[in-house]
Every structure is written in C-alpha cells, then in structure tokens.
Amino acid sequence: MDRPTASSSQDGADSKRRKSLWGGLFRKNEKASIEEEEYIKEMKRRMKLREKSEKAERTRSFSEVPSDKFKTMSNSVGDTNPQQKNYSFYAERIEDLPVDILESLERMRLPRSIVEANFELVLNIVSFADKHVPRRRFVTHAQMDVVRANRKICESNVTDRILLSPDQAYERYSFVDARALYKWDVYLGHGGFGQVVEAKCKDKKDPTYGKRVALKFQNNSDLRGRRMNLEEVSLLKFCDHPNIVKLHRVLEVRSEVWMVMELMRGGNLRQASSSKVTPFREKEIAFVAREALLGIQYLHQQQIVHRDLKDLNMMMSLDGEVKLIDFGLAVDMSNGPRVQMVGSPQWMSPEMIRGEPHWFPVDIWSFMVCVLELANQKPREKANVKRAMFLTATVGIPKKFEEPEKWTHSFKEFAEWGAIIYQEKRPTATKLLEHSFIQSACDIDQIKKRLHKVFMEKAVEKNFA
C-alpha cells in the first residue's frame, strides 16, 4: 500500500480549508438572507397594522391627526434630500402672495384691514401650515433678517452638556438579534414620530426581562432624522423624574432607532377628555394639573423646554401616574431663547406664533390649554387651524370655560393666570404649584378610580364601535 505523500496531505488540508471558507461564506449569506426576509416581513406587518389604525383616523379633522407636515424651515437644517427642501419667498403686501394662499386667507374669515395690520403674523401662520410640496415660507425682508440671525442657534436643540455620541446613546444590533430581544404583539399607534407597539422583553440580561414595555420605532436613515433621534434620546437619558416617561434603552437596528420605554397602562389626556366618557371633577383635574406641573417644573429647572405639550403627550396610568412623553421637539435653553415655530397649532403659544423669542412660558401656555380641554371635554377650535392660531396670537383664549358656572373661583383664577397672553407675565410652574386650586387636588385613590372608569369606558366604546 502506498503511503500518502506530503503533497497529498497538503492538498487535503487545502481542500478542507476551501470547504470551511465556502461553508462560512454560505452561512454568512444565509444569515444575511434570513435577516432581509425577516425585516421585510416586519415592515409589511407594521404597514398593515398602520393602515388598519388609520381607518379610524380618517373621520377625524386634519388638526387632530398627528402630522409630519408641521415642521419649520429651521427643522430642515442638515437635510441633503432636495425633495425635502423648504423655499422662502419675500412678500411685503397681500398682493405678493400666490393664489392658493389668498384663498386660504379667505377661509380664515378675517377682514382685509386686520390681515394688513398683522401681515407678518399672518405670514408666520400660512407658512407654518403650508401643505405645498416643496414647503414654502413667506417672509418680509425684516423677518428674513431675524431668520438668518437665529438659524445657527436653531441647528441643534441640545447643547454639549446633554448631547451624547451615537456610541453612548445606542446599542447596535442586527434586526434578527434585536427582534429576539423583544416580542411585540399590540400595535399602539403612529404619527410623524414613527410607530409604537407594546412588547415583552425577552433579554435575560435586561432589568425589564419578562416585563411589558413600549417599543418606539423611529426612522434613522437621513441626516435630519439621525440628528433629531440623537437629541431626543440624549434628553430622555438626561432626565430622571417620576412625571417624565422613563427610557430603558435604545437599539440601533438597520435604518431605525428602537426606543425601549416604560409602558403606561391607561391612556392619554385626549382619551380622558373625550365627551364620551364621564367628565373629571375639579379636584381630579387639579390632581392631573399638579402632576403635569411637577414634570414641567423639573424640565425648566434643568433648562429644558418641551415645546410640544398637548393632549396626546400627557399620559395617565391606571396607577394614578401622570407623565410627559415625546421629547422630539424639546430644546435645551441654556444658550438662551429660541425663535422657531414648532409643535401643534392648537397648543402653540401666542409668542411662538408671533415669531418672537420664546422660552419656558411656552410650556405653561400649552399646559393650560390641556387643563381647559380636560375641563371642557373638547379641544379648542379645530374647524380652521389658521384662524385658531391667529386668534391665539392676538386675543389668547377669551372664553376659557364652556360652562363657567360649574367651576370654583379658584379654578377660574388659575386658568386666567396661566393663560396670560404676554409671556413675561405668565407664571412659572413653581408659582402655579403654589396656587390654591392645585392645593385642592384629590388623593391618589380617587384619581385611580376615575382613571379606571374612564379608560374602561374607552375600551368598551372601542370594542363596540
């Protein structure tokens, strides 16, 4: 029998190495293929649930539906996509405006003399609510000088004292590995921010293992999205307060950011203020107001302004917790006031609509609009968003209560004080917390009973709709 030569042994070893390399490459390709297939399935699943959810929203007014159309020119700093670009046009008089904007002014039902007397204000409003693609901004030469002066300040909402690097903010995972950590089974909602689902943590190394969490998917594929996501994550990791939603961890998965947050069992202030549920008593409204103010007070002490406080961003749990959520438009004010129009029209403060430098009082205004919504069981005027914004900027909220006889003098005084049209006269969160209305708040057991009743009624309504 012939003995194997050194050459044949070498050939055998080379053959094994080749098989090993080809096998590794095959496994790698197979893993990539599985990753792609699973990702596509996930996207289809989310899209299907989003379409199903949107069917219920199509009967709601345009102003009620969370929209990604409400963005300012300053929010687009850093965009490289020409389709996303906003264009500015000079307009010094009504005749300089295009036909569609003139028609929009007609629908605002304002006399020409009023429009002319408040022309820069009207330009702010029609520019903010413009639905034209690409977006347009109409300004006078004087307004453009202000925009240019403030553009650099508006590039980032967070200063270096808070801003994290991507390595500090995110944990990077493949889609298959990330999905193995969280199993989601309930679609909670969506908006311009992304999509939110309810999930169960399956990561044994995570402190939330076995618990239910809220999982928020946000697009992270373009420069602007990456900047805004990093700023929001940095702010949430910086904040630590019982009245602010807790961020557990953040995963960077393909072209998305997955924000793992505490799950609030209950609902938001919009659901609680619905005309279809039992109305809140005054002492219960005082409880909600106090808890929200504690969160606002903490933010302001940290030099942070939320800038998008509204009914959808105030969550209430069955355990009586009230927490502020969605910090996508929050800003670090340590460098001073800002000049931007951001947020949601019905809750936007007069000074922001007027294009004036704004800071902490904008949150107090938005908070008070939410409190009045809870009392009146309906949001402010929503038939014409532009008209509502004009009235806010010029006269504030003249009629605060639909049925003023129902409420005590203390509550009415509290509402008048917090909704002062001039920001320099508006009280701070700390001052409002000292008011007699806040001191009259019910105990937590009563609010738990109320919230159980409210959200049970909402669940029954949903199931039998």
- Tens of pLDDT, residues 143-158: 888 877 776 555 678 9
Give the CATH number, domain containing residue 373. Answer: 1.10.510.10
Does 308 qualify as catalytic in the annotation?
A: yes
231/258 same-domain check: yes
Q: Is residue 135 part of a domain?
A: yes
Residue 216 known to bind ligand? yes
Collapsing DSSP states into helix, strand and coil, what is residue 364?
A: helix
3-class SS of residue 147: helix
What angle separates helix 282-301 from helix 444-463, to the nearest 10 degrees? Answer: 100
pLDDT of residue 31: 66
In terms of Cβ atoms closer than 10 Å to its own Cβ (0-12, 13-18, 19+), residue 353 is buried
The strand pair at 136-139 and 87-90 is best described as: parallel
Q: Are residues 413 and 335 in the same domain?
A: yes
Mean pLDDT, all residues of the chain: 85
Residue ending a domain, among 236, 262, 288, is 262
Q: Which pLDDT score is estimated for 155?
A: 63
Q: Which residue has the higher pLDDT, 462 or 30?
A: 30
Residues 279 and 351 in one domain: yes
Of 11, 100, 160, 308, which is the active-site residue?
A: 308
* Average pLDDT of the residues in 333-350: 91
Residues 182 and 331 in one domain: no
Q: Which of 142-146, 222-226, 308-312 has the lowest mean pLDDT?
A: 142-146
One domain, residues 208 and 270: no
On whether residue 7 sits in a domain, the answer given is no
Strands 171-173 and 247-253: parallel
pLDDT at 283 over 60: yes
As for how many domains the chain has, the answer is 3
Highest mean pLDDT among 47-61, 136-150, 165-179, 190-204: 165-179
The parent domain of residue 228 ranges over 166-262
pLDDT value at residue 76: 36
C-alpha distances (whole Å) from 26 to each of 12, 22, 352, 408 are: 21, 6, 58, 74
- The band of 3, judged by pLDDT with boundaries at 50, 70 and 90, is low
Range with the lowest mean pLDDT among 7-11, 118-122, 272-276, 411-415?
7-11
On whether residue 130 sits in a domain, the answer given is yes
